[in-house]
Structure 1
């Protein structure tokens, strides 16, 4: 048994690591942490003899046998995908030296896979909890095993490194899906049987469709309702009530892989056929903004698009989310800066006359007295369906293309049926504002809505 005097002679870092593990062990004990796996052949994850707390359901257990290379967990929101992946990946570190952790963005990989409430640091037991080193993009376990953090926004970081296994989270939300997937697969070459765990909400993307056909893929499907008893009432109100009974709910809650929907604004097959990894040279870049309405779940749509030298309009970025007016304005200008946009096009009707002033105030907070890029106000004079139709036609002609994957925008485009729902989603509206502005360059500014320019900064 190691004495205090011996510990006092240890290097400072070793003492700190010991203290961290002791604190983690105490937290585990205080939380009454329950072992994740039980020995029942079939289990719903609820407490039972030998397991006094919630634990893995049968569908959350790793597949047995040697016949699979990829464990594809297609599940609805709130199913427990992150916990399932984290519990699998720390156990893999007990057997193998090198692993990869890949999320949609660097922040997602850090905040969800590693530091999240159901991430690795929360799931690994105190005696085997890894040390997270953000500057090195890795977690290191007591046995020396290392898992490196990657982002699907930077596929080239996967060029070269080798791994025994990988955990890939929300594959369907990866913006540079094909490039990241290809680079990751080329690095799966250590050991006798490299394996991958994919935890994702489904979308009918080519990579997912190919995996579903691959005999070496072990597919597990799960629904939000499988884990409803563990979900907070606020989640049920915000997510389940939003999607339940809708076409999109079949994807987001029931984890169905949906193909083209008859009557939808744009077919998924059209979006997929036009997808590119990079845009060519761009002659004009704009940001479209659709401010949130009064509904509790409304988002502010923020989409960047550009007119290419080939005459095609490219959807570049989607940073839409639910936020306050001030946050939305700052986020809009942040997107303008990120893509070097020539103008910001925003909708200002239905009681949203505050938008222009909030945008100007936010610009001053961020850039002081520097002139802002031109603001272009759109006041709708026709219905949203009529405004969206010319843009939908450009999609069909392959004259609007997506740079990378924009999952939530694509879901809306492929599931919004104008004949059935007059209230178009915020992301679609923002995209329509941006692309319509680009189209006006070709049509001598034919008016679909009434733009009122605020002449500032450089021309657009």
Structure 2
């Protein structure tokens, strides 16, 4: 059987990643794969956090609606989860994406990310983190998990999965803070 799935995760992989609650987290982000029309694709919105070298998926808030609707949902999640930053894909809208979020909250920290590589290239390092047991789902996210296990190139855009990849790339693959170690004897 030819398996063309982008992220080759199984239900068992995800079930093994499931936990009841997250530990105290070092950092939390809200990742948005925005929709540019209110009747088009869903806007993927994922809440994720990091504790040490482990990542945690906290919520899938994906919805369909206008740009203002998803921006409001992202900022509400930012406040509710006491997040550090909103990460938003800017390929379809650029400065408009940031402007819409700033209409809701002009002071929220935003990082705009741009796709320069294909979905497979972006998702492979995240799949490896799952395989290493370093990513955990706090609860169950059926629609997200369906995308992760079933999505094939040519299917409708995997908005939830795209947002998850952006969140975990920011948390787990980007520059990490240095942990200062006290030298014994000083």
Name the CA distance, whole Å, in 2 between partners of 1:436 and 1:321: 22
Unaligned stretches of 5+ in structure 1? 1-260, 365-370, 445-460
Name the CA distance, whole Å, in 1 between partners of 2:157 and 2:133: 22
Contact in 2 for aligned 1:285/1:339 (Cα 8 Å) = yes
Change (3 A) 1:404 1:326: same
Deviations 1:111-146 (A, max 9, x none): xxxxxxxxxxxxxxxxxxxxxxxxxxxxxxxxxxxx
**How many residue pairs are counted as aligned between the two chains?**
174
Name the CA distance, whole Å, in 1 between partners of 2:71 and 2:24: 27
Change (3 A) 1:358 1:351: closer
Q: 2:160 matched to which residue of 1?
A: 427
Contact in 2 for aligned 1:291/1:352 (Cα 8 Å) = no
Q: Report how far residue 295 of structure 1 moved.
A: 8.7
Unaligned stretches of 5+ in structure 2? 179-186
Name the CA distance, whole Å, in 1 between partners of 2:150 and 2:163: 17
Runs of 4+ in 1 over 6 A off after TM superposition: none
Larger radius of gyration: 1
Change (3 A) 1:363 1:351: closer
Q: 1:342 matched to which residue of 2?
A: 84
Mapping 1:145-294, distance limit 5 Å: 262-264=3-5, 265=7, 266-294=9-37
Secondary structure class of the residue paired with 1:282? coil
Contact in 2 for aligned 1:276/1:402 (Cα 8 Å) = yes
Name the CA distance, whole Å, in 1 between partners of 2:42 and 2:94: 14
Pick one of 97, 100, 119 that aligns with 1:384: 119
Q: TM-score, normalised by structure 2?
A: 0.86
Change (3 A) 1:320 1:328: same
Name the CA distance, whole Å, in 1 between partners of 2:40 and 2:59: 22
Q: 1:437 matched to which residue of 2?
A: 170
Pick one of 100, 104, 116 that aligns with 1:362: 104
Name the CA distance, whole Å, in 1 between partners of 2:14 and 2:36: 27
Q: 1:25 matched to which residue of 2?
A: none
Q: Report how far residue 293 of structure 1 moved.
A: 4.4
Name the CA distance, whole Å, in 2 between partners of 1:396 and 1:443: 24
Name the CA distance, whole Å, in 1 between partners of 2:177 and 2:118: 20
Q: 1:404 matched to which residue of 2?
A: 139
Q: Higher relative CO (CA 8 A, sep ≥ 6), structure 1 or 2?
A: 2
Q: TM-score, normalised by structure 1?
A: 0.36
